[in-house]
Amino acid sequence: MKCRKCDQKAVINMRQHKLALCKDHFLSWVCDQTERNIQKYKLFTRNDQILLGVSGGKDSLALWHVLLKLGYQTAGLYIHLGIHGENQYSTTSQQYAQEFAQKYGLKLHIVNVEADFGKTIPQFSQANKRGKLKPCSICGLVKRHTMNDIALQFGYDVLITGHNLDDEVSVLFNNVLSWQVDFLRRQSPYIPAKEGLLPKAKPFCRFYEKETAAYAILADIPYIEDECPFSIGSTTIQNKQLLNQLEHDRPGTKLAFYIKFLQAKNSLFSEDYSTNAEELFLCPNCGQPTQQPGDCAFCRLISKN
């Protein structure tokens, strides 16, 4: 199979775009499309100081690489969750993040959950009824709080993550199945700032997971291939497998599901029910916004343990 843009052999065939590309054209295509996403969704500008959540995986490291090539001002934040397993998951993924930052001379903030908050994520999870059932929800809570906290402390303008289209459609699918209207109206490539909360952006939201992995491999970016041991059997992975089966039978299904949802949002949700409509309170302990008066969920988690 030949590249659509030259005579070289194609290394990837993106059936949803009817586009096969060689290595060089694919690497430039990812950069061009990322820039297009940044402009289309007004995610940030070259004047902004950007803090990227880095996990040591393919998505965040590929995104960091692309933004560096595009000339954006970025720093990374790695959160050591204290997840071990057979592959020393957290320590190994931290090494990948550090090696990348060192290679390209980039600033990487590192937060160690156990050192800073007294317990690892698995320990918080074990000690908490909610966590025993859903360790990923404890992890998400700690990561969201920490990212916002570091971004505020160091004066960043915007928080970004490497979430890809498969992540987005998995969440969308789940929220549609249970008609989680609040979550649906919040799902967006860009979540505007609120008092105490930085804006959040997802520049990779239109790339399939396979494309971000291909970018990392072709750009020679070492990353942790192993998955978090807690994600095995998770709803996210089950949803992704189901959606990949649909995609296999009908190429473009995942992309259309996401893009058409974003287009339909204006019709689905009235203006007074927009993203910024909900009332927020400030946590008296940490000062971060919370949906209910009193301590926020993060501070309640820490104080209970």
Binding site for other proteins (CB under 8 A): 1, 10-13, 20, 23, 57-59, 136-137, 139-140, 161, 163, 166-167, 171, 208-210, 212-214, 217-218, 225, 227-228, 230-232, 234, 236-237, 240-241, 244-245, 247-248
| Cβ nearer to other proteins, comparing 39 with 241 | 241
Nearer to other proteins, 226 or 278 (CB): 226
Question: Which of 62, 67 has the CB closer to other proteins?
Answer: 62
Torsion 40-155-52-163 (CA) sign: negative
Least Å from the CB of residue 102 to other proteins: 23
Q: How far is the CB of 293 from other proteins (least distance, A)?
A: 26
In the complex with other proteins, which residue's Cβ is closer, 73 or 126? 126
- What DSSP state is assigned to residue 161? -
> How does strand 12-14 pair with strand 19-21?
antiparallel
Q: Determine what percent of the chain falls in helix, strand and coil, rounding each to the nearest 5.
A: 50, 15, 35
Determine contact, residues 107/101, Cβ cutoff 8 Å. Answer: yes
Cα 290 to Cα 129: distance, rounded to the nearest angstrom: 21
Q: Which helix (H) or strand (E) holds 50?
A: strand 49-53
Residue 234, classed as helix, strand or coil, is coil
User: Which residue's CB is nearer to other proteins, number 33 or number 212?
Assistant: 212
Smallest gap from Cβ 267 to other proteins, in A, equals 24
Kindly state the smallest distance separating residue 4's Cβ from other proteins, in Å: 12
Instruction: State the minimum distance, in angstroms, from the CB of residue 208 to other proteins.
Output: 8
CB of 71 to other proteins, least distance (A): 27
* Closer CB to other proteins, 235 or 285, in the complex: 235
B/e letters for 215-231, b = 16+ CB within 10 Å, e = fewer, are bbbbbebebbeeebebe
Cα torsion angle, 68, 262, 147, 78, sign = negative
User: What angle in degrees, to the nearest 10, is found between the helix axes of 89-104 and 58-70?
Assistant: 10
